[in-house]
Amino acid sequence: MLTDAQKQHYQRDGYIVLPDFKSAADIVTLRARAGQIVNEFDPKGAGIFSTVEQEKTTDDYFLRSDNTVRCFFEEEAFGPDGGLKQDKSLSINKIGHAMHDLDPVFRAFTADPRLVTVARDLGLADAKVWQSMYIFKQPGIGGEVRWHQDATYFDTDPVSVTTFWFALEDATLENGCMWAEPGGHRGPMRERFLRTGDHVRMEKLSDMPWPDDSTAVPLECKAGSLVCFHGLLPHYSAPNRSAFSRHAYTLHVTDGATDYSPLNWIQRDASFPVRGFL
């Protein structure tokens, strides 16, 4: 499916953008289902999601979302009185983390045979899909996602995690598109997110500084685009201060031939085994 030039681009830069991968109809269906999940969601006892102080903000609500479907609020969703500043449907940061296995509509979007081919072309002979997230990046309050590498959360030996990021709306500089450092995937893994039971911690592995806007590039893309990127590629996204949301759907995929760390925060067992795209 990928041309040799596309594969070389991926090897060199650590990411590739495939425009028009998903149809407008597929996007409408997924967005509608996400809207339903939020509509049915009871906010009592829910958590917020923040990547800035993740050890502190990680709680039972987050840890129990590993193999379920839960909604998380934006950090800035609440006013000083503790109430929502805007409608619930405009306050959710993301849904995670197992819709790809548990929700029929998300399952159908994920079970795309072309993804098997793309994954194989990127070096994943035996793709295993560990996590799905529906990211809202809400207008006005969509939070920053600080610089990180996705391999921090999905450690395998050797490194194999690859992110499949589907733009469900146009991603622009205004609404907080992703930024990445081309070629940065050839640098070291800087951090590892470790879970022991209900305790998590971030382990520092390297002093290599994060990139900044002088070497990073914005990954602006149209709705329907698929962005694939390497687990060691440093990336971040700025807060969304625009009047427009920036919905995206992501999958984190490893190669079954590698060793998946028993300290990764998402684990599966025989009762709910990790599966491929199909």
Nearest residue (CB) to Fe ion, 103 versus 150: 150
Give the nearer residue to Fe ion in terms of CB position, either 99 or 251.
251
Alpha-helical regions (H) of 41-149:
54-57, 60-63, 99-102, 104-110, 113-121
DSSP assigned state of 48: B
Comparing CB distances to Fe ion, the nearer of 150 and 181 is 150
Q: Which residues make Cβ contacts (< 8 Å) with residue 86, sequence separation at least 6? A: 77, 138, 140, 141
Beta carbon nearer to Fe ion, 91 or 250: 250
Q: Which of 76, 101, 150, 255 binds Fe ion (CB under 5 A)?
A: 150
Nearer to Fe ion by Cβ, of 89 and 206: the residue is: 206
Mark residues 108-147: x for contact with Fe ion by CB under 5 A, - for none. Answer: ----------------------------------------
Q: What is the nearest approach in angstroms of Fe ion to the Cβ of residue 103? A: 21
How many C-beta neighbours within 10 Å does residue 204 have?
A: 8
Cα dist. 116→7, 25, 54, 111, 154 in Å? 15, 21, 32, 9, 19
- The minimum distance between CB 86 and Fe ion, in angstroms, equals 25
181 binds Fe ion (CB under 5 A): no
- Smallest separation, CB 95 to Fe ion (Å): 16
Q: Report helix, strand or coil for 101.
A: helix
Closer to Fe ion by CB, 84 or 189: give it: 189
CB of 84 to Fe ion, least distance (A): 26
CA-CA-CA-CA torsion sign (233, 177, 237, 24): negative
Interface stretch with Fe ion, choices 54-62, 148-156, 187-195, 225-233 (CB under 5 A): 148-156
Please tell me the distance from the alpha carbon of residue 235 to that of residue 107, in angstroms, as a whole number: 26
- Residue nearest Fe ion, Cβ-based: 150
Backbone φ and ψ for 260, nearest 5 degrees, come out as -90, 125
The two three-digit tokens of residue 77, written as one number: 């969703």
Residue 83's identity, in one-letter code, is: G
Site string for Fe ion, 71-100 (x = CB under 5 A): ------------------------------
Which residues of the shown chain bind Fe ion in the complex (CB under 5 A)?
A: 150
